[in-house]
A and B are shown apart, each in its own frame.
Chain A
Amino acid sequence: MVDALIGISVLLPFIGAILCFLTKNPRGRAAIIVTTGVLLTLSSLLLFQNLHGPYLYTPGSLLGLNVNSLITFADFALLFIILGIAFKLGNPLVILLTLLQIVPLAYFELKMAPHVEVTPAFYIDNLALIMNLIISIVGSLICIFGIRYMEEHEHHLHLKKSRQPRFFFFLVLFLGAMNGLVFSNNLLWLYFFWEVTTFCSFMLIGHDKTEIAIRNATRALWMNMTGGVAFVAAIIFIFYNTQSMEYLSLQALINHGPGLTTALLLPFALLCFAGFTKAAQVPFQSWLCGAMVAPTPVSALLHSSTMVKAGVYLVVRMAPGYQGTFLSTMVATFCAFTFLTASALAVNMSNGKKILAYSTIANLGLIIACAGINTPAAIIAAVLLIIFHAISKGLLFLCVGTIEHAIGSRDIEDMRGLYNTMPAVSRITIVGILTMMLPPFGALMSKWMAIESAAHIPWVVVMVALGSGLTVLFWARWAGLFVSGPHLKVFEAEENQGFFAPIVTIFKGFSAKSKWKDPASIKVPLVTLAVAAIVLSLGVPWLYTSLVDPVLASYKPGLFVKPFETGPMGLTSGVGAFYVLPIFLVSIIGYLAAVIAAKQKDHRVFSAPYMCGEQYPDISQPKFRSHLNSWKDYVAANIYMQEFIGEDKISYWINSIALIILIVLFGEVLR
């Protein structure tokens, strides 16, 4: 049963992808996507239900073929495809990087260690299960969202021939590759799935075939290929340093013998480096920002549940392996730096998707920094952050996508007052934003854990502190923009809805009479994710015991102590406490009181905003009388602190500093 479920998780998307590619009928394709999504979700849930503790599994053969050889073959096939593409692109860098992988890998497979068999090939612990859940559920929701989105997208582009089959082929394939990646224990298999995600992301980013799309896709390709090269190098070094096949198993690598730490430090560093490239840490942030040219489902997928999470997963997974080493501190430093700078860059952006992109990079930085801090509490923080980030960020991307289709812009300045015209989506977006930045929501709780556990490394905590100040800035103003402007109309319409208006609209959205006209394939993902973000935050104590705690248990026994106590109120540790429920309750009560107050109609008058005595009589139109007695529209804009943190101004410095840190890291490791 469990084996079958694992098979479904990995193989079903491959099958689904191929079916998508073959089906020309959009309805049929939609059905395939939905079925795949539902099945994946079910299988991941079942898997989660049935597995307690690490599960080892080595698939024997597939359709009569040895899986191991199959993957080796597929690996080379993939690399040669990329090589072919590289030649077609005429990009020497990509060619070089591909060759740098093919040659050593061939040498390794053929000369150094022919016919390596690493058992178990799959090692499925709770971390992998959590990843599987995220990938399967969030990923599927995004794919479902994509159905309708791509229809409109192609409509906008006026394509003659639909390119959706190809699009969904890669989109769904991605899920399978990710599932394979998180389950793999065999580093060679892991590498294969790793490259598949790289390749898929390349194809998806370049999907629109515009010049800029191809350029950005190429950038994504070469940056991730650097990671691939590091990965291959790591494999070779492991074998070379230990002269044993055993440590090609990830779990063995993590639980390596005490005497091996120095010998394995370089491979660890290389694998971390591979993780950094995939997680778009500075100086590799540009590929993820460039990926914004892709259709929104792609961005959502890359950012929330897949791709970047692969890098994060690898580093977090290996954390116990390099605990207490110099590498660990450097990882924390490097990624805290990423957190700080990416947050700063996000402040500078007015493009909604770019804000999300930089915020993703920042959050990944924080997650990896937690892995680097490497205390039990920090690892917990990292895992929680992975979960909450995936949900909220996926939600936000889908929201921006929906908004973009409605208003034709992804600039946050254009979302000013959007609450007037798209109340439901705006509310959900605001919920998404608040879950990213405010207590008692999960993302903030993980940040709380991160700061408390980082407290003993002052420079890391400083960077985290500065960075989190910056995140508040860009989130708060974005949330505020939605409600900016006169709101007479909306409130009038909702007067009879009582004070559960936000919740009510979300669910009423599904009734035929509702004003929220988007189709179900857009509503379902949005609502599910929004509700999940809130409910999971509320259930953090439960989440903690049932999900995160076992994560630790699956690590090397005895290495970790349980960092937190759960109680009815929330979590407490030796040094701090985070009361989820009370804060939640008080906030809700406050909110209800506020809404009741807002609904009371007694004595209230509307007034135009203060315009120094020159306001326009109609309060729904902010205007003022300017020179020549003309009516001038009042326009507002955010402060982007251009002269402090202009993107083009500081990117160079950020990249240089990041490179220096990396060089120090490797220099020290090699010493």
Chain B
Amino acid sequence: MKDCVVVINEENTPELTPDRIITQTRILKDEGFRFVTMSSTDLGDRICVLYHLDKDLQLINLKVEVPKGTKIPSICSVYASAVLIENEIKEHFGVEFDGLSLDFQGMLYLDEEVQKTPFCKIGINRV
């Protein structure tokens, strides 16, 4: 099946606990999946992070939901190219990632003029 549009529902998107994300992505990588990107949404008191992976135009999504302020392990060690997007999510949603290979310290896009994490409904103060 080749996907250009994937509607996300419970069947096609397994929800994972944060601690399993590294093992899971590593398994997928060994199967030949390419890392596409991550998306994230603010769910009020929780943050939902989606991992999109692709193999032969077939898209797989992994979902992680954590309460705000929880740390998520970084998958930089599995897919080095994830570092930019993890930094972006950190900057926009205030999610901390454990083990970032290059930490932009919230200054990837934003300067000190923007004082709250912009994409949360109630912004968190940025350091």
Contacts and interface: CB of A to CB of B under 8 A. Distances in A.
In the complex, A touching B (Cβ < 8 A): yes
Interface of A: 627-629
| Across the A-B interface, the 4 shortest Cβ-Cβ residue pairs | A628-B107, A629-B107, A628-B105, A628-B104
A629 B110 CA distance: 10
Contacts of B105: 628
8 contacts: A627-B104, A627-B107, A628-B104, A628-B105, A628-B107, A629-B107, A629-B111, A629-B112
B111 to A, nearest CB: 7
Contacts of A627: 104, 107
Contacts of B107: 627-629
Nearest to B105: A628
Interface of A is mostly: helix
B42 to A, nearest CB: 26
A456 B93 CA distance: 78
Interface of B: 104-105, 107, 111-112
Contacts of A629: 107, 111-112
Nearest to B103: A628
A629 B112 CA distance: 10
A632 to B, nearest CB: 14
Nearest to B107: A628
B29 to A, nearest CB: 28
Contacts of B112: 629
Contacts of B111: 629
A626 to B, nearest CB: 11
A627 B109 CA distance: 10
A220 B105 CA distance: 57
Nearest to A630: B107
Contacts of B104: 627-628
A627 B112 CA distance: 14
A627 B111 CA distance: 11
A630 to B, nearest CB: 9
A214 to B, nearest CB: 49
A280 B104 CA distance: 55
Given A628-B107, A629-B107, A629-B112, 5 more contacts: A627-B104, A627-B107, A628-B104, A628-B105, A629-B111
A146 B101 CA distance: 56
A77 B104 CA distance: 74
Nearest to B104: A628
A628 B107 CA distance: 6
Nearest to B112: A629
A614 to B, nearest CB: 13
Most buried by A among B107, B111, B112: B107
A247 B102 CA distance: 80
A637 B97 CA distance: 38
A628 B102 CA distance: 11
Nearest to B111: A629
B109 to A, nearest CB: 12
Nearest to A629: B107
A628 B111 CA distance: 9
B103 to A, nearest CB: 9
A10 to B, nearest CB: 72
Contacts of A628: 104-105, 107
Nearest to B102: A627
A459 to B, nearest CB: 55
B33 to A, nearest CB: 30
A638 B89 CA distance: 41
B70 to A, nearest CB: 25
A109 to B, nearest CB: 78
B22 to A, nearest CB: 27
Nearest to A628: B107
B45 to A, nearest CB: 30
A627 B87 CA distance: 14
A212 B14 CA distance: 69
A627 B84 CA distance: 14
B106 to A, nearest CB: 9
A430 B105 CA distance: 47
A75 B46 CA distance: 96
A627 B107 CA distance: 8
B85 to A, nearest CB: 17
B105 to A, nearest CB: 6
